Amino acid sequence: MIFKRRNKNNNQGFTLIEVLVALTIIAISLGAIMSASGNQAHQISYLKQKTLAHWVAVNEMTQLQLDAEWPSVGEKKGSASMAGIEWFWLRSTKKTEDDDARQVEFHVFSDKNRKQNLTSLIGYVNKEN
């Protein structure tokens, strides 16, 4: 076997260009990860708002069904508090083919001006005989 003797001046490190390319790849990857993390945090917050708004709509519909009051046709505005947040709702009541039933639609908003609709819920209320 013949062994080749290495030159002592032969360095085995990375060149400056290789290091810069590696750092560029790492920087791009970290930027993408940070962007994805921020987007995911925003989506979680939005889904939490939508879930709470839906619960507000369900609670208002349930309360309407439990009340002995027959809902009048038209629109009504109101608000409810849940999870330390005030939610604003708009209730639209319509006649149905059955005189003893009404269609009720709730829209729940996060702002008092009722511009950012987070959820809608449609249900029916029957007249008690």
Those residues whose C-beta lies under 8 Å from the C-beta of residue 53, and which sit 6 or more positions away, are 87, 108, 109, 110, 118, 119
- Looking at residue 105, its pLDDT comes to 96
CATH number of 16-126: 3.30.1300.30
- Looking at residue 48, its pLDDT comes to 92
Q: pLDDT tens-digit profile of 39-64?
A: 888 888 899 999 999 999 999 999 99
The rounded radius of gyration (Å) of the Cα atoms in the chain is: 31
Residues 85, 52 contacting (CB under 8 angstroms) = yes
Q: Would you place residue 6 in the very low, low, confident or very high pLDDT band (cuts 50, 70, 90)? A: low
How far apart CA 92 and CA 46 sit, in angstroms, is 25
Q: pLDDT tens-digit profile of 66-104?
A: 887 888 999 999 999 999 999 999 999 999 999 999 999
3-state secondary structure of 13: coil
